[in-house]
């Protein structure tokens, strides 16, 4: 799994006034939960931008005044009008404990149903999985080669070694949908 290195400053003062002061300095207030106790930090928006504005998933390695902290992004709060990041919540990665994270889905192959005139539709761009950090994948490859018109691949159809899917098994990942052109071609073939 990809790792993003971010330097952070520990926040000593908490509360509304202190948070507003941090934002005036051009930093984003963050909290890292999990483990023994949560820590409050502040990060540079430019350092965190690759984490927010990307379809990829990352493990974040914070350098908090010389101490390393591994975490995954849990929640992002944006300003309702300006699209400015107001607050970030992270969950600490603990040694020997599995991590839950949303991983992007990548479709591979050329579906039979698409060759026959159907349209491939990706329903789930990311799937939440739980695994040890060393077992996490950068992306979840889904082979659609055998997918015919009207067929769907569900999360329950996928299996990877050492990875447990948190997203419900009944969630559709992708499907080949019937198009008007394929319906007309099938009707013309039956005449």
What's the mean pLDDT in 21-46? 84
Q: Which of 124, 133, 121, 66 is nearest to 95 (CA)?
A: 133
How much is the pTM? Answer: 0.76
Task: Label residue 159 by pLDDT band (50, 70, 90).
Answer: confident
Instruction: Give residue limits of the domains in the chain.
Output: 3-95, 100-190
Task: Label residue 185 by pLDDT band (50, 70, 90).
Answer: low
Top CATH class, 100-190: mainly beta
What's the mean pLDDT in 134-142? 86
In contact, 120 and 107? CB cutoff 8 Å:
yes
Top CATH class, 3-95: mainly beta
Per mean pLDDT, which of 8-22, 40-54, 57-71, 163-177 is the most reliable? 163-177
């Amino acid at each position: 799994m990809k790792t993003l290195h971010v330097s952070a400053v520990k926040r000593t003062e908490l509360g509304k006034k202190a948070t507003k002061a941090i934002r005036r300095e051009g930093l984003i207030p963050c909290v890292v939960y999990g483990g023994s106790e949560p820590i409050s930090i502040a990060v540079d928006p430019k350092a965190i931008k690759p984490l927010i504005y990307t379809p990829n998933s990352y493990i974040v390695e914070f350098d908090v005044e010389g101490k390393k902290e591994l975490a995954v992004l849990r929640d992002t709060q944006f300003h309702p009008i300006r699209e400015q990041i107001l607050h970030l919540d992270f969950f600490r990665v603990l040694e020997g404990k599995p991590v839950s994270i949303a991983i992007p889905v990548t479709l591979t192959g050329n579906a039979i149903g698409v060759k026959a005139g159907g349209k491939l539709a990706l329903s789930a761009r990311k799937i939440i999985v739980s695994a040890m950090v060393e077992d996490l994948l950068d992306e979840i490859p889904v082979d659609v080669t055998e997918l015919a018109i009207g067929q769907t691949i569900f999360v329950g159809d996928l299996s990877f070694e050492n990875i447990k899917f948190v997203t419900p098994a009944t969630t559709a990942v992708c499907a080949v949908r019937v198009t008007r052109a394929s319906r007309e071609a099938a009707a013309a073939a039956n005449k």
